[in-house]
Every structure is written in structure tokens, then in C-alpha cells.
Amino acid sequence: MDLNLFDYHLPPELIAQYPARHRDESRLMVIERASGKIELRAFKNIVGYLGAGDVLVVNNTKVFKARLLGNRATGGEVEVFLVRRTEGQPLVWEAMVRPSRRVKQGEEIYFHKACHTDRLSLTLKENRGSKWLIEFSSALFEERIIERYGHVPLPQYIRRADVPEDVERYQTVFAKPEKTGAVAAPTAGFHFTPTILDELKARGVEVVELTLHVGPGTFKPVQVDDIDQHTVDPEFAEITQTAADSISRARATGKKIFVVGTTTVRTLESAPVKEGDIVPFSGEVDLYIRPGHQFKFVDHLITNFHLPKSSLLILVSAYAGRELILKAYQEAITSRFRFYSYGDAMLIL
């Protein structure tokens, strides 16, 4: 399929620059795949769509302050965007460095607000083309640099600097500190609150957690005309035995699986299967979902509104049908919905 089939025009003012005042005050578009019916609701109304025995699957990854702003010895500014730790070398990270052409292998990047006797720094260890390997001198220095000088890694379409509010709001309420590792948030989860989760549990809904550490590749543009030629970057994912059992039990008893976000979809659909059931796993996944994919474990999808010509829009179109999704997006634009990470939500039934 041609990439242009997944294009639409979005007025720039509809790109949400800040979150809604309260998470559950976001708007919700409800789409019925079978009938094509579209309804406009408030997100807090989502509780009524789930029933006893249904499963809500969420991504519990936690975003960390991956964007580090430092200086060369000459004083020039350098941005080091941490991507992930390298296996077997806990102080060595894959990172994107800007401006990459000006810096040199072996060079130190300093964080000058530290006192003179404890100048915090990291070393540019090896240039690997689009990414660098960088190294912290100690775990203590790593922790201090990220905590003191790290910035919330807001996407580039949010055209402002991060503010203290983003530390909490560019994070889901089910993010777990022990699951820290994402450099982009699973944004479909932003709209949930502890109150909504309590209401769902009171209705007999089971909330099931899995993990996918979202990488910068989530924003990787599709740069080929034929969408089949695109690839997605690998990311770490994990499904525990407990989560797998809950999903398999819901499937066996005819209950519905509501999946929160495209990252959760890709994790579920990447899982090994044995006799129709999910098998627990831990490792890298790089599944690229496009029209023609046969979904195994997604009955209903909760998602945000995605960029034109993006792999995320292609995934949602694979699930609900391209024409219906583009029709819904046009309705969202006409109704002045807010788009992208801090924007409004969609429930696909």
C-alpha cells in the first residue's frame, strides 16, 4: 500500500501542547467497527464500556529524564538523548548526540552547575553512525546527572521546553519505578486516573500489566512510498506468567480484552503462542503491524490520535480499517479534538 493513503491534514493548533487540566477530562471518540458509528464522549465514560470479567491491558513502563543538556570543554552546548543501556555494560548507553558532527570520540561532556570539585561528566565512547555509545564514570554520577540535569523527553511536536508539571503528566498512573526504561510515554494511558481504575475494578474488570520500554523509534517517520518496506526499531518487552494467565483466562471464558495503546498491542501480538494461549516472554520485539495483520489478542483498542503517515496510524488502520479511521480523524478535526501525546482519546469497539 502507498504511504499517501495514510495522510490527512491537521491544523497545527490542534496539536496539544499541554495536557488536559485533569486526566479524565480528555474527550473520547468511540468507534464501532461493525457499524461505522462514531460517538463523542468524555473519557470518564469509558468505564461503562467494560464489564465483569473483561481485561484491561496496560503498559507499566516508566519514562525517565532521558534528555541531558551539557557542554563541551569549549563551552558549546550538547544534547545527549539516552536511548537504552547496553547489555553487560551497565554504565554504557546507546544515545543520540547533537550536534553529532562537532563532537569527537573520547570527548567528555560536562554538566557545569555541579560544584568545581565534583564536576559531573560523561564520555563519548564510540560513534556508531546514527547513535553513540556514551559512558558514565560511576553509577552515582549517572544517577546525579539524570536526576539533576535530565529533562522530560517531550516529543518534538510539543514546541516548548519541559516544565515541572511534565514530570508527573508525561507518565501514566500505572507506571512502576522498577519498570523505568522508556524514553517516550505510552500516551494512551495518560487519561486513566486512580478513580477510573477503582471504578473498573468495582465492576469486576481485571487490570493486567505488561511492559514495553518505548524507544525514540516510536517517532521514526515512514520514509518509503511502499509501507511494506518500512521497519520498526527493536524495543524491550515483557509479559509475566500472571499477565499471560489472565489474558488466556479471559479469552477462554469469552470475555473481552481491552488494550491500552499501540505499544501494548505490539507486545501482545509479538508474544509466543502455544495452543492458542500467550506464552510469557522477555526480550526485544520489532513487530510492524500493517493492514493484513490478523490480531490474536485485541478485542477493543484504546488509543490517541496519531501523526499522518506514521507507523502508529498504519497500525490503527490495520485494526479498524483505513477508511473508517480517516473518517473518524476528519470528524475529530471538525469537532476540534486535541491530537497527539497530550491530546484526546479514541475507543475502537
Helix (H) or strand (E) holding 177: none
- Spatial separation of the C-alpha atoms in residues 45 and 183, rounded to whole Å: 30
In the predicted model, is pLDDT for residue 117 greater than 80? no
Q: What is the 3-state secondary structure (H, E, C) of 125-170?
A: EEEECCEEEEEECCHHHHHHHHHHHEECCCCCCCCCCCCHHHHHHC
**CATH 3.40.50.1820 corresponds to the domain 3-63+167-348:** no
In the predicted model, is pLDDT for residue 192 greater than 70? yes
Mean local confidence (pLDDT), 252-270: 97
- Spatial separation of the C-alpha atoms in residues 173 and 332, rounded to whole Å: 26
Could you identify the residue written with the cell 507499566? 60
pLDDT for 115 equals 46
Banded pLDDT at 113 (limits 50, 70, 90): low
Indicate the average pLDDT of the chain: 95
pLDDT for 201 equals 97
In the predicted model, is pLDDT for residue 116 greater than 60? no
> Which of 314, 343, 326 lies closest to 8, judged by CA?
326
User: Could you tell me which residues come within 8 angstroms of residue 327 by beta carbon, excluding any fewer than 6 positions away?
Assistant: 36, 38
Mean local confidence (pLDDT), 45-69: 97
Could you identify the residue written with the cell 504511504? 3
Banded pLDDT at 118 (limits 50, 70, 90): low
- Spatial separation of the C-alpha atoms in residues 17 and 338, rounded to whole Å: 9
In the predicted model, is pLDDT for residue 139 greater than 50? yes
pLDDT for 222 equals 95
pLDDT for 87 equals 87
Query: Could you tell me if 62 and 179 are in contact, meaning their C-beta atoms sit under 8 angstroms apart?
Result: yes
> For residue 234, is the peptide bond before it cis, meaning its omega torsion is within 30 degrees of 0?
no
pLDDT for 18 equals 97
Per-residue pLDDT reduced to its tens digit, 310-342: 999 999 999 999 999 999 999 999 999 999 999
Torsion from C-alpha of 22, 23, 25, 28, nearest 10 degrees = 170
| Residue percentage of the chain with pLDDT more than 90 | 92
Per-residue pLDDT reduced to its tens digit, 76-105: 999 999 999 998 899 999 999 999 888 999
pLDDT for 111 equals 87
Mean local confidence (pLDDT), 197-202: 98
Domain boundaries, the chain: 3-63+167-348, 67-151
- Spatial separation of the C-alpha atoms in residues 276 and 218, rounded to whole Å: 29
In the predicted model, is pLDDT for residue 62 greater than 50? yes
Top CATH class of 67-151 equals mainly beta
User: Could you tell me which residues come within 8 angstroms of residue 205 by beta carbon, excluding any fewer than 6 positions away?
Assistant: 50, 51, 52, 53, 54, 55, 56
Query: Could you tell me if 150 and 66 are in contact, meaning their C-beta atoms sit under 8 angstroms apart?
Result: yes
- Spatial separation of the C-alpha atoms in residues 29 and 337, rounded to whole Å: 9
Mean local confidence (pLDDT), 169-177: 98
Name the 3-class secondary structure at 11: coil
pLDDT for 306 equals 97
3-state helix, strand, coil in the chain (%, to 5): 30, 30, 40
| Residue percentage of the chain with pLDDT more than 70 | 98
- CA gyration radius for the chain? 21
Q: How is residue 106 annotated by DSSP?
A: T
In the predicted model, is pLDDT for residue 21 greater than 50? yes
